[in-house]
Structure 1
């Protein structure tokens, strides 16, 4: 994304608030340069809200270990014939969607992440799964939460797209605060935290493209499949909305070209102002 990026930690410095399947509805595109970065130990102002952002994992992707669960994962580079210029190729792909903690045992995510039969029973939740934690190879049992039930679900194209999940127990993290604003100015910077393609947690500072008083918000921000349900935060660290849909990560023509001619794939990119943006469901349009 060709923005003059402030460090995400500076954006939130004023914070006073406390591959079995990839969902195409959450597909996205890179705007200009790929500005996604890892959450690091230096992001002190982000640690609190980052710990409330969950990767949603299919049970089949984990196997039991002595003190936890071991992911059945492939790296990004093993999963796609990507060009060397693409980022994070040595990192593992683990989840299929993203969620955010809105109550001690309640998670908000996109509706299309939970609308398949038995999806709740097949899903596990791990919070704050960053690149450092991914290096440990084992996820401790106490960090893995199960879906107890889907409390609310709506997934209608063009309308609010959300699901509220009750977990099997309370999470050892602080739920995020909800933004009070109903509209946002064009160009306003908002922070995305997500698990793009199931990668460890990433941050990206985006900007508002279009907003109305309705339930939806258009953003220019670098998210991908796997980012569905991911939270968007304002400068106070309050939850603005969650990702519903976007543009394709990889163009079908590129996949066909590599299959027939060889070579490598680059993720789809847009110059500023040439794409319609990523669609978020605003929290004020969700029945929480």
Structure 2
């Protein structure tokens, strides 16, 4: 005879409890959804509307609140605060969210704010991201996959960071900026404009200083693509041409390379303008 009703519910509850390890000093709301094999350390606080995927590890003194959805295999180290209200004066307590993918690591005292109604309502992070100590993700940011934030990196609201981008320590990113895929932002930089994909930028008002050749090789980009990107870099960021004329020259001289096509499309779609290099030809 199959179990049903209260007995089945009780058995299901026992099974879920057995699959979790929640310290008796943790505060977990009864309505929170906790996956299998999740560990929650002492003095951690898990709010009512939180959903945590299988295999996550929640260290002591972590706070996960708000309408927050977390995928499987994520790790939150001491003091991380996830899903707190946005630092936006227009926010009036609306039901907005943080959505985090799988296998992300959030080091000590990372903070992530949920979205705002005006920004689409969701702050989103993809899979396999690493956010080092004290880094901050503001409201409505859209962070891709395999993104790394070094210590105290801080994108403002509505920032887009594409896949495999690396943000150095103590970097401040202006609201609504886009950080292109496979790019690197050097430490202590200020980013007021979009960072083109595949490039390295650095500076108080950051400028492009090279192609991320090492990163592209590590990610198995072809020699032909890297060579084409080098040529596009010289035209776009090391010539005396205006950005409009540089783009036209790249289109005329480099064809059939998907990476260069994406670089040009990124530049043409930019709303804030792009970080550029020195005007002197090299």
User: TM-score, normalization: structure 1?
Assistant: 0.18
Larger RCO (CA under 8 A, 6+ residues apart): 1
Point out the structure with the larger strand share. Answer: 1
Larger Rg: 2
